[in-house]
Every structure is written in structure tokens, then in C-alpha cells.
Amino acid sequence: MRLRDVALVTLVVVAATAVVAAGEQGRRPHRWWQSTDVKALLELTDEQSATLDRIYRKALPKLRESYRRQNAEEAALSQLVGDMDVEEIDVTRQIDRVEATRSELSKTRILMVFRMHRVLTETQRDGLDQWMKRETDERGAAGTRPRRR
């Protein structure tokens, strides 16, 4: 995998994390493949957009469940760490559960991104990489989430 492809996967994974977090917080997640601007920029066909949406919708329940489990395991760990009577082995076991749920969430996100990546042409992946970099730069400069289009 080329460095640019690794960067693209990383950016999309970050975006996917935001999608899950937004969904969990009651906000409507941003689906870049449905954005008129992005569809035009990448010259996405209706079929590609529908395929990307199917991939996303198929992964979303597992992403949400993994995100919910990760939050619950992290809350349990925080509670254990705050309990000075707990044994270190109990904290160690809980850390293992937190890391297992984090790994599961990451695996699900990366597989979703991989499947999406395969729908796009190389030119579209390059365009998406550029668009996501701009969005990330704008969000960082403004301290906000990407604008909805």
C-alpha cells in the first residue's frame, strides 16, 4: 500500500469515528458520498453512491454497538481506577476488555473504509484524499466539524 493510500485510509477512519460519535450523540452523521459537492468533485455515479451507502448502512449497527460497548468498558475502567481497594489484576483485566472493544471498533471501521475504497477509482480516491485534507484543515483552523453541503 502506498503512503498516500495509508494517509487516505487514516483520514477516512478518523471521519468514520466522527460519524459513529455523531450518531451516538444524536446528530445526523455526514455522509460525504451523498454530498452534492463531493459527488460532483469525485464524479461519483448514482450507483457508486448507492453502493457506498449500502456499505455504510451495513456497518453502522456494528459500529454503534462497538462504540457503546467501548464506552461502557471505559466507564467501568474509570470506576475501577478510582477504587483504591481494587486489585491490580482486576484493573489489568478491565484494560484488556477496553482494548479488545477498541480493537473491534477499529477493525469494523477499517473494513468499512476498505470496502468503500474498493468502490472508487484511483482518481476518485485521490480526489477524496484532497477533499478530506481540506476539510480536516478547515476544521482544525475553525475548531469545528466540516460544513454540511
Residue-wise pLDDT for 95-109, tens only, equals: 999 999 999 999 999
> Residue 146 corresponds to which amino acid?
P
Based on the number of CB atoms within 10 Å of its own CB, is 41 exposed (0-12), middle (13-18) or buried (19 or more)? middle
Measuring CA to CA, how many Å separate 17 from each of 53, 82, 102? 16, 28, 11
Question: Which tens digits make up the pLDDT trace of 46-95?
Answer: 999 999 999 999 999 999 999 999 999 999 999 999 998 999 999 999 99
pTM of the model: 0.71
- Quickly state the pLDDT bin for 34 (edges 50, 70, 90): very high
User: Could you tell me the pLDDT band of residue 27, with boundaries at 50, 70 and 90?
Assistant: very low
pLDDT tops 90 at residue 30: no
φ/ψ (deg, to 5) at 86:
-80, 150
Phi, psi of 68 (to 5 degrees): -65, -45
Q: Which of 120, 128, 115 is nearest to 4 (CA)?
A: 128
Residue 17: closest CA among 134, 105, 144, 143: 105
Burial of residue 39, with CB atoms counted within 10 A of its CB: 0-12 exposed, 13-18 middle, 19 or more buried: middle
pLDDT at 127: 95
Identify the pLDDT of residue 57.
Answer: 97
How far apart CA 50 and CA 44 sit, in angstroms, is 10
Q: What is the pLDDT of residues 123-136, one digit of tens each?
A: 999 999 999 999 88
For residue 95, which amino acid is it? I
Whole-number pLDDT of residue 20: 47
Label residue 143 by pLDDT band (50, 70, 90).
Answer: low
Note the pLDDT of residue 26.
47
